[in-house]
Amino acid sequence: MSGAAHPLVAVYADESCLGNGRAGATPGGAGGLVEWKHPRTGEILRWDYWISEPDTTNNRMALRSVIEAFRGLSRKGNTFSVVFTSDSKYIVDGMTQWVPSWMKRNWTRKTGPIENLELWQEAVAEVEAHQCAWRWVRGHNGHPQNEYANFLATRAAAERTASRGLVPSGFEAWVSTQQAKGALRGVVDPFPPAAVAFGGR
């Protein structure tokens, strides 16, 4: 493979569940930042998305973050090469290791029922039109795009809101505010080179 076959986008996604595992309702949110590099100007254009549920789990919202991202990207029939970055090993390991095995076994596994089966199937259906590289990043470690996705997800969970698709991003203003507070240790990820992301040389 010599590089991305379609226009390249980078997605940074995160999820939140307030009181995950405790008794009673546990509201949750998922959010993400979508980046696209303008082919003529080289400018990085950004969009946000977020969704919420009144009673959910971290794993469920991690899957919703995938579904909502790809649903937004596919809305006008577009096909992209996507570098999807998440701090959820449930998503990254699931998409790269577990799903291929489950699909070979007709969506079953040896050790019992698949947790969140319908959401996994929905996520795969949304992703399949695109080329995707899955990338894990350590959460809560000062990575600006990941921290911003976490901000979107936790805000959505707390406020019970949804963006209803991709909307213009507030990332740059948020980064400026966080840097002024000294709250970000990392540097903003550069836009990923297609050849590196998809195994080209």
The 10s digit of each residue's pLDDT in 22-71 is: 667 899 999 999 999 998 999 999 999 999 999 999 999 999 999 999 99
User: Domains in the chain, start-ordered, CATH in brackets?
Assistant: 8-189 (3.30.420.10)
CA separation (Å) from 201 to 1, 151, 196, 198? 9, 35, 7, 9
CB 25 within 8 A of CB 54: yes
pLDDT tier for residue 19 given thresholds of 50, 70 and 90: confident
Crossing angle for the helix pair 58-74 and 144-159, to the nearest 10 degrees: 110
CB 91 within 8 A of CB 97: no
CA 28 – CA 152 distance, rounded (Å): 11
pTM: 0.92
Those residues whose C-beta lies under 8 Å from the C-beta of residue 111, and which sit 6 or more positions away, are none
* Residue type at position 72: G
The 10s digit of each residue's pLDDT in 115-163 is: 999 999 999 999 999 999 999 998 888 899 999 999 999 999 999 999 9
